Amino acid sequence: MQGAASNGTPFSGWRIVWTVALAQALGPALMSPLGVFMTELQAEFGASRAAVSLGGPILAGMMMLVGLVLGPRLDRGPIRRIMLWGVGIMLVAMLALSRATSLGEIGLFLAVASVGMSMYGHLPAQVLLVNWFRRLRGRALAVSTIGMSGSGLLLPPLCALLIASVGWRDTISLIAVAAAALCFFPIASFVVNRPEDV
């Protein structure tokens, strides 16, 4: 499953590796700069640090619950359609979050965004790479995590700069729109459930 297929078709697995690396960088890893927004959210809503800090647990809990439902559907496919729907859900939820008028709304929209991120993040990445790779599966899985590492390094300082320039609401909008635009076309172009489908 690494190399040319038996019918002479070039092996497309590495394009999928880089696509899911990008999707993970701009999916679950979008939450890496949560801490950067804390001061702004506290000031905006007069909330305690403890209340604002609930964003992380909300995200983790929702992703765990979504995984229970999403796993069997990813096994049956179509993975591309699921991932594209996920990008759309993330975008709408993050844009709504950027205009939230209370911490409750922020929690709700964050939970919905985490559903979308799960649909195009690490769960479909794992399924796709297991489907496409055998001998080099470990290497493919390792390379696919580069996106999350890079995003965790770059997004917090980028968000801090944007917040200082345009405010926290427009920062969330810009990050969401950029993530959706960068993810949509590679997913639409390259994601195929398994080599046999090419």
- pTM, 2 dp: 0.87
What DSSP character marks residue 36? G
The neighbour count for residue 180, using CB atoms within 10 Å, is 19
Q: What angle do CA 189, 25, 186 make, to 5 degrees?
A: 5
- What is the predicted pLDDT for the residue at 8? 54
Element (H, E) at 37: none
Each residue of 140-162: pLDDT tens digit? 888 888 878 888 888 999 999 99
- What is the predicted pLDDT for the residue at 7? 52
In angstroms, the CA 38 to CA 10 distance is 48
Each residue of 160-192: pLDDT tens digit? 999 999 999 999 999 999 999 999 999 999 999
Each residue of 39-57: pLDDT tens digit? 888 888 887 777 777 777 8
8 Å CB contact between 22 and 120: no
Terminal-to-terminal C-alpha distance of the chain: 12
The neighbour count for residue 9, using CB atoms within 10 Å, is 10
User: Does residue 71 have a pLDDT over 90?
Assistant: no
Does a cis peptide bond (omega within 30 degrees of 0) precede residue 78? yes
8 Å CB contact between 55 and 100: no
- What is the predicted pLDDT for the residue at 22? 92
Q: Which two tokens stand for residue 73?
A: 């559907």
Q: Which two tokens stand for residue 107?
A: 């929690």
The CA dihedral of 59, 64, 68, 74, to the nearest 10 degrees, is 70
